[in-house]
Amino acid sequence: MYVAGWDYPLHLGVTEAGEGEDGRMKSAIGIGTLLQDGLGDTIRVSLTEAPEEEIDPCKRLANLGMKASDLQKGVAPFEEKHRHYFDFQRRTGQLPVQKE
């Protein structure tokens, strides 16, 4: 793509990798090997469990990718400072009125 002049970000992800150690291993193998080769601009870890459980493996893979990439030398590891992922609030709303 880059040779053709298409300078778009390359997204890496393993969809519904599973849960627990199994899902983390599949994501690490699928995404980690590409990151080690210097490929990928964005990543997504998708586990078959609560979404907040995807944060830690994703951070670990992102930091691995940053260490592997010569282009990222000198860039500090990502640290989220503004969002609170574990502070849940129920959404409010109403269903539309149904005509019979």
pLDDT tens string 66-80: 766 655 566 666 677
Q: What percent of the chain has pLDDT over 90?
A: 0
pLDDT at site 43: 85
CA of residue 39 relative to chain centroid, distance: 14
pLDDT at residue 49 greater than cutoff 80: yes
pLDDT at site 36: 81
Mean pLDDT within 20-28: 86
pLDDT at site 50: 86
For residue 66, count CB atoms less than 10 angstroms from its CB and return exposed for 0-12, middle for 13-18, buried for 19 or more. Answer: middle
- pTM, full prediction: 0.55
Mean pLDDT rounded to a whole number for the chain = 79
Q: Which of 67, 88, 86 is nearest to 78 (CA)?
A: 67
| Residues with Cβ within 8 Å of residue 18, at least 6 apart in sequence | 26, 47, 48
